[in-house]
Amino acid sequence: MITVLPDDIQAGLDQARKRALKRSSRLALEAGNQRLKVLRLSDNGFAVDAAQAPHLRGLVDLYDGTRHLSRCLIVASEEEGGEIRYEVKQMTAAADEQPLDYERAENAPVGLIENYG
């Protein structure tokens, strides 16, 4: 049994694995005007392709397709196997509506119907 693969075969397998991860992942990272595919998401961070990603640091937005999931504060953690792993320091979930400055009552009316009679 061969325990070590030749370098060209190993490189081909790594390339095929990256292509499969890019196709299967809907997650994307947006930093400024740059949008990058997220290859893998973990509890404390995520990984992107090292060939396309600069060493990012600061606030980025995480998307699932076109749906905004969260805003993250990140730092580049390590580069290994053609991937850069980023560590998430803080993650704030994105909301569909604006935050209120007051407490909304449970039985508050949805709208106002005026009597024009």
Q: What is the pLDDT of residues 61-80, one digit of tens each?
A: 999 888 888 899 998 888 88
Q: pTM for this structure?
A: 0.62
Tens digit of each residue's pLDDT (9 = 90 or more) over 5-47: 778 877 777 776 766 655 556 888 888 888 888 888 888 888 8
Q: Taking a C-beta distance cutoff of 8 angstroms, is the pair 51, 82 a contact?
A: yes
Which stretches within the chain are classed as H helix? 7-24
Class at the top of the CATH hierarchy for domain 27-93:
mainly beta
Look at residue 73 in the predicted model and tell me its pLDDT.
92
